[in-house]
Structure 1
């Protein structure tokens, strides 16, 4: 749970504003994510993690190694494996060993998976447009640029 930071005399005004910004970003993200989860379940009987796996595979029509897929999605191999297993059983994804290597699997969307994902992606884009409808095009560009810059400042740190 996120709560407001406690007052501390040694925290600068800028620091407090950054904490408030973080809380606002977190709340906005969680609110939008919860709505997307609900709509995906209601309209497509699917989950956000399944949508994310299919989206990653859609962007890589030649397929992805399972390890690359989990790294791209920032989740464990075990999480991805369970989702991919279900997608394979439903005929939405294929899995094949790479060059006969039993340790590595390539996964890709099937034609049915691609078609199914396109339908979900179209609805998803509309939902995002609706949920962020109060943000102007200029504000969208500016905020996206700020977040991209912010990400590049800390990305790659360990």
Structure 2
């Protein structure tokens, strides 16, 4: 829900930080692909690890049976909404 200019601005900032690079499409000169750099991959992996650690801390005191039951209900909800990857 943002303009193409806002996307360009965000990509410009990420590129300036060395997180992404623009790659011209050889088949279509109008197309520019955005690819994570190695630094971008490192930052993403670290952020994801931190995110998972936060969830682990939040759920540490939740009873495992309750967690399993909740996961089952959420999986069923996703499947009912058409998410076939929830299997």
Q: Which has the higher contact order (CA 8 A, sep 6+)?
A: 1
Aligned partner of 1:136 among 60, 63, 84: 63
Displacement of 1:122 after TM fit? Answer: 1.7
Q: Are 2:21 and 1:94 aligned?
A: yes
Query: What is the aligned length?
Result: 82
Q: TM-score, normalised by structure 1?
A: 0.42
Q: Secondary structure at the match of 2:61?
A: coil
2:47 maps to what in 1? 120
Gaps of 5+ in 1: 1-74
Q: Secondary structure at the match of 1:103?
A: coil
1:54 maps to what in 2? none
User: CA RMSD, aligned part only?
Assistant: 2.6
Over 3 Å counting, the alpha-carbon distance change for 1:140 and 1:108 in structure 2 is farther
Gaps of 5+ in 2: none
Q: Secondary structure at the match of 1:106?
A: strand
2:79 maps to what in 1? 152
Q: Secondary structure at the match of 1:99?
A: coil
